[in-house]
Every structure is written in C-alpha cells, then in structure tokens.
Amino acid sequence: MKIQRKQSLSKGFTLIELMVAMAVTTMIVTVLVSITAISLDTWTRSRSEVRAARQAKSMADTMARDLEALVVRRGNNIEWLTATAEAVKSAGSQEPGIRGSNSAKLIFYTAPTDRYDGKLVIDNDPNKPRDGAVGDISCVGYSLEYRDPMADATSGTEIPTFVLYRNLVNPDKTYKELLSKAKDSTGGLETAFDTAFGSEAQDTDNFVCENVFQYTITFNVMVSRSSGTGISAPILVPVTLSSQGGGATEFKLTGGAITTNSTGISGVTAEELKTGSLTSVEVSLTVLTDFGMEQMRNRKFNSMSAQADFLAKNSYQYSKSVQVPSP
C-alpha cells in the first residue's frame, strides 16, 4: 500500500508583481506628498494673511487710542501736534532698498492709559502717586523705517522689513524736555523731540508691527466759510499727508492755529484753514503678508501696475477714523 504525502508548496511574488506594487505605491506617495505640499502652502499663506490683518488692526488701534487722548490747549503758541510726510528710509546708507509708497512722521501730546507703563499710582493706591510725576501729559512719536528690527544695520546679516515704531515718553520726561522748553524752542516739536529722544526711537521696546508698506494720515478740519449772504457755513476739509504729490507734506497744530502747506484744497484759503478746528483723523494703511514682503525684497517688477497688482493680492488694507477731543 502506497501512502501519498501532500506537499505544501509556498509560492512567492513574481518580479512583475513587485514592480506593479512599487509603481502603485510610488503613485500613491507622490499624490499624498503633492496634497500635503499644497495644504501646507495654503495654510502658510492663510496664516500669513491672518497675521497681516492682525498687525494692521493692532497698529490702527494703537494709534487710535493715542489720538483719542490727544491733548491741545488753546491760547498759546505751543506746537501740540506735528506730522511730516516722508519717504521710508532705506536699510543702510549705501543701498537704496525698496520704498514704501507713503508714510508720515507723527508726533503729538497725549494722555494714553499706558503712560508710566500703566502704573499711574503705587500699589493701586490713589493716595500714593508716582514719585517725580509732573502732570499727566505724555508725548508720542510714530515713525516708519525700512530695516531689520532685531539686527544691526552694519552687521551685513540683516533681513530688512518695514517697521513701525511708537516712542512713548512718560509725563515727567515730557515736561522736563519738551513742555518746559516749548516757549523757548525755535525748531518746533519735531526738532525738540528728535533732540531729546531721537536716539531711542528705534529701540526694540518701541516696536509696534512690521511689514507696513505704507500708512497715510488724513486730518479732517472743520472750517467756517462766509457765504454771499453773510451766513457762516461749516465745511469739512480733509488734509492728507503724502510725499507723492497732490497732498500736504506737513501739518501742524498749535494752541491757536492750524498750519499746512497743502495746495490741493480747492476753494479754501490758508487763513480759513488756519482758524479751523481739527475734528477727526483717519489712518489708512497697507500691511504686506510675510510672503509678499519676501517677494518685495527679491523680485523686480516690470512696471508699477505689476507691482500694484502684486500688492493687491499679497497685502491687507485697513482704515480707521478717530474722533479727537476738542481743545
């Protein structure tokens, strides 16, 4: 009797099957990598846009709080506010760099809540005011620079961007260096401010936000005009600061008058504007996304229209109107 044994044969994959499996796996991995790359790029751009929007709002809100607490006193010749339109300074002294379309150097007296670092009294006791405090009026200066906020411009390793600075001077220094000398000052508020506090203007503590390609200030002045019937009719006159032409390059508010070199105000004389009253200030700004800022550093545009199209797609615009207190 013959006994037949069943043999268990183990069959492996053929070379063709392995190649097909590897090809399918490669296709799947390629698709997954592509989807992941697209998702990461979309997430990065969205995050950059959100960051730009937050920075724009942060800047406008900070400036609005200072302007809402604007301090002006009538019956004197003290310069309480000065604003000058200027081109954004380039990074370093040799390279021209890229330029923002518009900016303003803004200096004015104010009473913000964060003067004295927000500690107006000691231990929250109103009967214990800060030692050395002279009044409650501070002075604040805003300036926009094209530089690296963290690196030294002479190091050669900086990555410049548009940086907005806010230099808030506490009341004791404001009185000592500015208000007590205001009547004897011949150079105006800007000269006095730069002389006393210009060296600390670009300190890291004064950093507000970056990638601010431009910001424009418009002062709305209420002017009374006499009509042919002898009845005074108030009209609102906007004065926009611009270094590009078509607007004013300076605006000053003293204790008794408004002075500006604007030539674009139709039908309003300098004397009428001088006796007007500042009612509100509008802040308009454009903040680039991180991607947009990187491209602006390394990319050359064939025309201004091409640059404008790029800015429209890679920036965030924000405007805010602020009512200022009447003197």
> pLDDT tens-digit profile of 160-219?
888 889 999 988 889 888 988 877 667 789 999 999 998 888 888 888 888 888 888 999
Of 87, 130, 83, residue with least CA distance to 107? 83
Considering only residues 7 and 255, tell me which one the structure prediction assigns the higher pLDDT. Answer: 255
pLDDT at 237 over 80: yes
Between helices 290-298 and 15-68, what is the axis angle to 10°? 100
User: What is the spatial distance between Cα 153 and Cα 4, in angstroms, rounded to a whole number?
Assistant: 91
The residue assigned the tokens 């805003």 is 142
Fill in the DSSP letter of residue 234.
Answer: E
Q: How far, rounded to the nearest angstrom, does the alpha carbon of residue 265 sit from its chain's CA centroid?
A: 26
Considering the entire predicted model, what is its pTM? 0.78
Phi/psi of residue 302, nearest 5 degrees: -70, -25
